[in-house]
Amino acid sequence: MRTFRKPEEIELLMKALYSNHQTGRQLQGGNIFMVEPPPLTEQEVEELNRRMMSNKKYDEDQEELFGGWV
């Protein structure tokens, strides 16, 4: 298994996979790739939290969501 952490490494992997796909070459059976994305920045974390809070409306009105089963 090969692990890719840097954006440059991930870019090269994707280019190689796409090139193999375009030329019709098959991957060998033992190739396993693990891509670890870089950690989120503070701005990305804040944006995700804001989106999660805007989706809370489903948790607040369970009777409407589940009908008469609640």
Question: What pLDDT score does 64 carry?
Answer: 61
Cα 61 to Cα 69: distance, rounded to the nearest angstrom: 13
Question: What pLDDT score does 66 carry?
Answer: 64
Residue 69 included in any domain: no
pLDDT in tens, 44-67: 999 988 888 877 665 555 666 666
Average pLDDT score over residue span 30-36:
83
Residue 67 included in any domain: no
Total number of domains in the chain: 1
Q: Which domain holds residue 42?
A: 2-56
Residue 47 included in any domain: yes
Residue 62 included in any domain: no
Query: Torsion-angle region of residue 59: left (phi > 0), alpha (psi -120 to 50) or beta?
Result: alpha
Residue 40 included in any domain: yes
